[in-house]
Amino acid sequence: MVETAPTDDRPTGPTTPVVEAHVDPLQRSARDTSTVPTVLADWITAHEDNSRGRPGLRIDAGIDANGMSSETIMVDANWADGRAPADERWVMRMAPRPEDIPVFDTYRLDHQYKTMRTAAQATGLPIPRVRWLEPTGSVLGSPFFLMDRVEGLVPPDVMPYTFGDNWLFDASPEQQRALQDSSIELVARLHAIPDAPGTFGYLREGRPAGDSDLRSQLAWLSQWYRSSAAAIGSSPLVDHALRWLDENFPTEAAAGESVLTWGDARIGNVIYQDFMPAAILDWEMATIGPRELDVSWMIFAHQVFQELCGLAGLPGMPEFLREDDVRATYRELTGVELGDLRWFSVFAGVVWCCVFMRAGARRVHFGEIPRPADVDAELFYHRTLLERLLTEGP
């Protein structure tokens, strides 16, 4: 997920959220990472499958400040293979510590690891190869896994790509459409994995009970909001939105079948090469549920950035990821006509609220901002978009 924040010297008000880049990255953790390279090298060397393949392993590691959820550490490894020095580049995803105000209540890195590996095998999609999993936390204090690092470009979150002066905004309409269509294809191919409930049923573990996967998802969201509110304060907007979601819950036919959903299906979680996907990232929110969850999420994420452009008096990218175009492309790829996306867009809006609440609580925890007096006005940069969704006609 994206994290944005106003600087201290720019006035902001309830109707004027401001997105600013930070020279210094927002603090995610108080973890001491100075021992990571040595400990990680020893652990990999001692691993049964690697002791012969990577003699003399040495590691350099650096924190990537772009992550919102799991801690991300870039790992450069080199060793002598008996003939000449060799090297590899990995990414380590580590579960955050509870005292650092994590975004989610629980982290199942073993689920992420298994889902990435299984989905890659089932689809042939460019999901980074996962290497090793340490699920116990006994080595570095938190569970982690390593995956191959992939080079390429990612649409920026800060400043948002819709604000201009970046590779995607400056691309031709044909290049932008190629990126859009290929990103929708990623989602369509994930949704086509057969028997997703049977193959990925473990993703239901820890979710509240419900008479359907979508009802369980809504119960999880309500639970997540309550724990987020406990850390930063309640939100009248989210309270209203959750009531609306319950009162307007889709019928079984409208919700559709359960598929594997990526969960965080947005272009900011894809590495591109020549406007084509080279790596699909961020699987913390993967679950089993209706395909509309992913499609609406991709559209809504762009709408948030487009909304910010309007508030800033910028044109943005109004022709990009339009709902009609996305629906048509998805239908062409899958033969499936998606249901009404309004309910799922409101759901996405509440998820974004919870993420912003946790990010806000973390910033308060690390002394970066005072505790907000009005959560809705001070933390939700997409507030006007969600309010509009809730008040528009049937």
Is a pLDDT exceeding 90 seen at residue 157?
yes
DSSP annotation of 140: T
Is a pLDDT exceeding 50 seen at residue 185?
yes
Burial 103-142 (b: 16+ CB within 10 A, else e): bbeebbbebbbbbbbbbbebbeebbbebbbbbeeeeebeb
243's tokens: 């009531």
Q: Between the ranges 20-24, 49-53, 58-62, 202-206, where is the mean pLDDT highest?
A: 202-206
Q: Residue 82: what pLDDT?
A: 53
What is the average pLDDT across 139-154? 94
pLDDT band at 64 (very low <50, low <70, confident <90, very high): low
What is the average pLDDT across 316-328? 98
Is a pLDDT exceeding 50 seen at residue 319?
yes
Q: Is 252 helix (H, G, I), strand (E, B) or coil?
A: helix
Domain 36-64+69-148 is found in CATH 3.40.50.2300: no
pTM, entire model: 0.88
State in Å, rounded, how far the first CA of the chain is from the last one: 29
229-276: per-residue pLDDT in tens?
999 999 999 999 999 999 999 987 666 789 999 999 999 999 999 999
**CB-based contact 131:147 (threshold 8 Å):** yes
Rounded CA separation 205/215 (Å): 15
Catalytic residue check, 325:
no
Rounded CA separation 304/302 (Å): 5
Q: Which of 264, 282, 294, 376 is catalytic?
A: 264
Q: Residue 393: what pLDDT?
A: 59
Which residue in the block uniquely carries the two structure tokens 């090793």? 132
Indicate left, alpha or beta for 349 from its phi (over 0: left) and psi (-120 to 50: alpha): alpha
Q: Residue 24: what pLDDT?
A: 38
What's the Rg (C-alpha) of the chain?
21
pLDDT band at 38 (very low <50, low <70, confident <90, very high): confident
- DSSP run (H or E) holding 298: helix 292-312
pLDDT band at 11 (very low <50, low <70, confident <90, very high): very low
From residue 111, give the alpha-carbon distance in Å to each of 41, 94, 117, 199, 342.
24, 13, 10, 12, 29
Instruction: Compute the mean pLDDT over every residue in the chain, rounded to the nearest whole number.
Output: 87
102-126: per-residue pLDDT in tens?
899 889 999 999 999 999 999 999 9
Q: Residue 98: what pLDDT?
A: 82
Q: Which of 168, 150, 346 is nearest to 268 (CA)?
A: 168
Q: Residue 44: what pLDDT?
A: 83
Q: Residue 56: what pLDDT?
A: 65
pLDDT band at 12 (very low <50, low <70, confident <90, very high): very low
Q: Which of 27 and 296 is assigned the larger pLDDT?
A: 296
Per-domain residue ranges for the chain? Answer: 36-64+69-148, 161-391
- DSSP run (H or E) holding 356: helix 342-365
Q: Is 34 helix (H, G, I), strand (E, B) or coil?
A: coil
**CB-based contact 245:68 (threshold 8 Å):** no
What is the average pLDDT across 90-99? 89
Percent of the chain with pLDDT over 90: 70
Could you name the CATH architecture of 161-391? Alpha-Beta Complex (3.90)
Rounded CA separation 130/56 (Å): 22
Rounded CA separation 227/206 (Å): 15
Is a pLDDT exceeding 60 seen at residue 8?
no
Q: Which residues pair with 16 in a beta bridge?
A: 13
Q: Which of 295, 365, 366, 355 is nearest to 157 (CA)?
A: 355
